Amino acid sequence: MPTYRATISVTLRPSILDPEGKAVHQALQNLGHTTVDDVRVGKRIELTIEAEDKDTAYDVAETSCQKVLANPVTENYEISITAASPSAA
Amino acid sequence: MPTYRATISVTLRPSILDPEGKAVHQALQNLGHTTVDDVRVGKRIELTIEAEDKDTAYDVAETSCQKVLANPVTENYEISITAASPSAA
């Protein structure tokens, strides 16, 4: 069966405070990077999925986001699917 | 000064074990997503940078990666810069 790679970006919704981003921002300021105005930290997840076609792979990735990878109350997700095996299109 | 947005993906090098990815993989298997073969979890960081031009913004993002955001021994990073204010090009 063809293999697809799903690249998923999980980011905090803009209205949610991001303490990890704040900490990184402070660290950068302390190192002299005063031109950095804002930092947001999220997750980037790569799934390797065996599927008949791209749409099926997308569905698997989306269900995974909804059930495991993202918290729908505080986070947004974005999915992009690319072919990972020569037989995938 | 123009504002740029740097989107940075920090991923574990392929040779490095990823216990968080393994845990997510196991969770997906338990939920019946047996077509997911592999999971890798990384970070996605967005920096908002004030800079004269795109190249300067890229340099700030790259130095930030080397000093704070990524561990050069175990992680790779990828930077993409987009204009965030109308005056940026």
Q: How far apart are CA B79 and CA B63, in angstroms?
A: 11
Confidence band, pLDDT 50/70/90 cuts, at residue A83 = very high
- How distant is the alpha carbon of residue A26 from its chain centre? 24
Which of A31, A36, A60 shows the shortest C-beta gap to B35?
A60
- Chosen from B59, B68, B71 to mutate, greatest number of chain A CBs within 10 A: B68
- How distant is the alpha carbon of residue A68 from its chain centre? 12
Residue in B with minimal Cα distance to A11:
B44
Residue A89, pLDDT score: 64
In a domain, B27, yes or no: yes
Coil vs helix vs strand at A25: helix
Residues of A in contact with B44 (CB under 8 A): 9-11, 41-44
In a domain, A88, yes or no: no
For A51-72, the pLDDT digits (tens) are 999 999 999 999 999 999 999 9
Two structure tokens written together for B89: 């090009």
| DSSP element (H, E) containing B12 | strand B3-12
Residue in B with minimal Cα distance to A64:
B28
Tracing tokens 């740029």 back to the chain, one arrives at B4
| Residue span of the structural domain in which A39 resides | 3-83
Q: Report how far apart the first and last C-alpha atoms of chain B are (Å, whole number).
A: 12
CATH number at residue B35: 3.30.1280.10
Show which residues on chain A lie within 8 Å of chain B, measured between beta carbons. 3, 9-11, 21, 24, 27-28, 31, 33, 35-51, 60, 63-64, 67-69
In a domain, B89, yes or no: no
For B8-53, the pLDDT digits (tens) are 999 999 999 999 999 999 999 999 999 999 999 999 999 999 999 9
The percent helix, strand, coil of chain B (3-state, each to 5) is 30, 40, 30
